[in-house]
Amino acid sequence: MNKILLLIGVVLLASCSAIEHKPTQILPYTVTFHGANNAINPTASGLPRTEIPTNGQPGDVQYGGIYPLSYAVECNTARSACKHAVIQTELTYEIHEVNSVVQFTGFLKSTMGRKITQRIIAQPGSESSVTMAVSDDVQVIGTKTINTPISFTYAPGKRVVIDGLGGVQVIFAFDAVKPPAA
């Protein structure tokens, strides 16, 4: 009797290991870029703004891009002294599945300076550039680059905000699970 139970157990375990793991499919999501803060003109804060819908899935692919240059302005409370800067923002990330959990990892690179020239490659062999600068007679906020690590677990309906220099933000917004139609 014990041998029969042992044999049944081995067969059941063997059949479980033969079940193929189906990769997790993530729902569509949007990556939104909001440009720098502007204390002199608050209506210009968050501009430029780009919204990119995507359906990237786990695998060996790197996602991301370079966002438009933005212009930051910081002032004292009386707005009698203001500093300016140009901000360049780049995002790179990968999506991997480990033990049925989908993980987003990467970096948000944010560069601040007086003058930044950004190369734009529309397609192989087609390149242009855009330059934005702070006037020489205006004080600059600073010149620096930060690489903010990105690491979060995917969940339907989740919203993740990553902050860059000068108030720049990149936001991941995942679609929520929709209930089945009745």
Q: What is the pLDDT of residue 80?
A: 87
Distance separating alpha carbons of residues 141 and 23, to the nearest angstrom? 46
Which pLDDT tens digit goes with each residue over 13-24? 555 444 555 667
- Residue 106's DSSP bridge partners are 93, 150
Q: Is 22 helix (H, G, I), strand (E, B) or coil?
A: coil
pTM score of the predicted model: 0.80
Strand ranges across the sheet with 159-163: 49-54, 29-34, 169-174, 159-163
Distance separating alpha carbons of residues 156 and 162, to the nearest angstrom? 18
Which pLDDT tens digit goes with each residue over 91-149? 999 999 988 899 999 999 999 999 999 987 777 777 888 999 999 999 999 999 999 99
Residue 89 in contact with residue 164, Cβ under 8 Å? yes
Which of 75-89, 112-126, 165-179 shows the lowest per-residue confidence on average (mean pLDDT)? 112-126
